[in-house]
Amino acid sequence: MNVELEPKDIVLLNMMLNKELGDTRVEARHSDNSEYKNCLKEREKQLKSLVEQFSKIPVPEIESKC
Residue 66 has pLDDT above 80, yes or no: no
Distance from C-alpha of 28 to C-alpha of 45, rounded to nearest angstrom = 12
Length of the chain, in residues: 66
Distance from C-alpha of 8 to C-alpha of 22, rounded to nearest angstrom = 21
Structural domain boundaries of the chain?
1-16+32-56
Q: Are 18 and 51 in contact (CB under 8 A)?
A: yes
Q: What is the mean pLDDT of residues 20-30?
A: 97
Residue 5 has pLDDT above 70, yes or no: yes
pLDDT in tens, 36-65: 999 999 999 999 999 999 889 888 877 666
Distance from C-alpha of 11 to C-alpha of 53, rounded to nearest angstrom = 12
